[in-house]
């Protein structure tokens, strides 16, 4: 089997449309991980993904009769773009069945290359079943996105390039895994030429079909597949790809959504390019491997496999990246309901910065607050935070791994004030964002009036933004502006804001 794939990879026709992508050193990651980290930049392909390699290599192998019938494929997006571009280059009609959940940027790019797009199902497997139905109905030529020797050989040219680009010892190569085409091509080629180099697949924990298959010793079908990393959302790996992986892959690592988001940020910091979630899998897996093995001074390569991400997803990715890097903890804390308790809590945090603070008055005794806290680097930082707070007699619940809390509750904390809250006025503040800024704000605000609502989130901008509800007796309203002017921050009164009256007042 290896000889068969090596010959196919060496003879693969990919450079009519694909380019040889660079192998760049990720200096920031290298410094942080104490290893030499290289990124194989497949996000720089014409379709922003490695998939053009396998798609074109398969297309060029088809007979004239097969091309004349037109080609069809199912794809979550990247294979679709590669096949559409290959078909346009060769003058072949292409029909692509894509899940309805496919990011719009991928759908639009397929159409730009002249592909006929059919949206069907919620994930790859439903789209794939429909594509095979159309093969029977219309006599189209089916081009599988991963489970085909010619597709595998096309993807294997990634390994051919990176081994030529890095002639020195390579400790490990990390490869994103969906159906397994890239993993199969890379592992077959690398193990043939450099058997001592580890080849490690990386899957999203929401779609870990290769990990499950290797553990079971046979291909399995997942009951459910998450689509956050849509490019690898596959319920069952291919037959050809599984056979290769069984022989040549050292292991498969699974990573969480938060870890993927952190890897997107890592790649951005080093390259200024924005990978899609599946494109950042290899970096996420590499970081997990280094932490587990405590290896240093090694050369490691991660394949940055794609950059087809909808712009509107970036907000969610950015929100979760700090959690994935273990640089932030999300906690629920009970503090006394009395003036000055916010300030005392911030003081008890020590030098840790607050990244988020959500609170709404509930009763006269206790305040339940939702807090984000910046952590210092290190695996024990979160447990140390919890231990310190509990040592100061706070009742604390760690919500950092609570998916509902991170997705929904953080945006819903608050609601309308109970009937016992009266004389509430609302102010929006803006202040320079710097370490200790929130503590400074609370110190200046002091305990003159009771805080009945508080919302703050550090967005990494130049200015911090805070929304505060204060219980101020009617005869002291005229003193508030004078007091706030002395604090020196920009502020606006929002008591008459309709959004406040509808949802918070």
Residues assigned a catalytic role: 51, 305
Six-digit token string for 229:
């990393």
3-class state of residue 242 by DSSP:
helix
Residue 427 neighbours by CB under 8 Å, 6+ apart = 467, 468, 470, 480, 484, 491, 492, 493, 494
One DSSP character per residue, 91-137 reads T--EEEEE-TTS-HHHHHHHHHTT-EEEE-SSSHHHHHHHHHHHHHH
Q: What are phi and psi of 23, to 5 degrees?
A: -110, 100
**Segment holding 164, helix H or strand E:** helix 149-165
Q: Are 353 and 435 in contact (CB under 8 A)?
A: yes
Residue 74 vs residues 82, 124, 459: alpha-carbon distances, Å = 12, 7, 38
Six-digit token string for 43:
């996000």
Q: What are phi and psi of 198, to 5 degrees?
A: -75, 140
Helix residue ranges, H only, 274-424: 281-293, 314-324, 341-348, 381-391, 403-404, 410-412
- CA–CA separation, 177 vs 491, rounded Å? 50
């Amino acid at each position: 089997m290896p000889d068969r794939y090596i010959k196919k990879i060496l003879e693969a026709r990919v450079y009519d449309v694909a380019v040889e992508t660079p192998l760049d050193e990720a200096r920031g990651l290298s410094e942080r991980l104490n290893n030499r980290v290289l990124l194989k930049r497949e996000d720089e392909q014409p379709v922003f993904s490695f998939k053009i390699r396998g798609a074109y290599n398969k297309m060029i192998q088809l007979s004239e009769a097969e091309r004349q019938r037109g080609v069809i494929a199912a794809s979550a997006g990247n294979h679709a773009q590669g096949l559409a571009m290959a078909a346009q280059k060769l003058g072949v009609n292409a029909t692509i069945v894509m899940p309805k959940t496919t990011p719009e940027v991928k759908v639009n790019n397929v159409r730009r290359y002249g592909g006929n797009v059919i949206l069907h199902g919620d994930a790859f497997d439903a789209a794939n079943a429909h594509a095979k139905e159309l093969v029977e109905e219309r006599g189209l030529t089916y081009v599988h996105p991963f489970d085909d020797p010619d597709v595998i050989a096309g993807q294997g040219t990634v390994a051919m390039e990176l081994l030529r680009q890095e002639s020195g010892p390579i400790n490990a190569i990390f490869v994103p895994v969906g159906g397994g085409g890239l993993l199969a091509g890379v592992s077959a080629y690398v193990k043939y030429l450099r058997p001592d180099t580890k080849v490690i697949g990386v899957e999203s924990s929401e779609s870990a079909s290769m990990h499950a298959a290797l553990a079971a010793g046979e291909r399995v079908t997942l009951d459910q597949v998450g689509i956050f990393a849509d490019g690898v959302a596959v319920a069952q790996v291919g037959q050809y790809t599984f056979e290769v992986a069984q022989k040549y892959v050292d292991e498969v690592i699974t990573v969480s959504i938060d870890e993927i988001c952190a890897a997107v940020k890592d790649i951005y910091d080093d390259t200024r390019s924005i990978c899609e979630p599946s494109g950042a899998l290899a970096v996420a897996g590499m970081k997990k491997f280094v932490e587990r093995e405590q290896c240093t001074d090694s050369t490691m390569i991660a394949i940055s496999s794609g950059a087809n991400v909808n712009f509107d997803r970036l907000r969610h990715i950015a929100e979760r990246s700090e959690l994935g890097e273990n640089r932030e903890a999300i906690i629920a804390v009970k503090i006394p309901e009395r003036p000055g308790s916010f300030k005392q809590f911030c003081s008890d945090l020590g030098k840790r910065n607050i990244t988020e603070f959500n609170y709404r008055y509930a009763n006269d005794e206790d305040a339940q607050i939702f807090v984000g806290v910046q952590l210092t680097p290190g695996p024990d930082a979160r447990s140390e935070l919890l231990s310190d707070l509990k040592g100061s007699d706070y009742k604390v619940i760690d919500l950092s791994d609570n998916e509902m809390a991170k997705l929904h509750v953080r945006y819903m904390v608050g609601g309308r004030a109970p009937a016992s809250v009266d004389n509430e006025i609302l102010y929006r503040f803006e202040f320079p964002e710097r370490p200790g800024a929130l503590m400074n704000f609370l110190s200046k605000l002091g305990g003159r009036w009771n805080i009945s609502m508080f919302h703050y989130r550090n967005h990494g901008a130049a200015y911090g933004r805070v929304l505060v509800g204060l219980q101020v007796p009617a005869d002291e309203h005229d003193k508030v502006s004078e007091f706030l002017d002395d604090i020196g921050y920009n502020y606006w009164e929002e008591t008459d804001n309709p959004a406040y009256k509808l949802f918070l007042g």
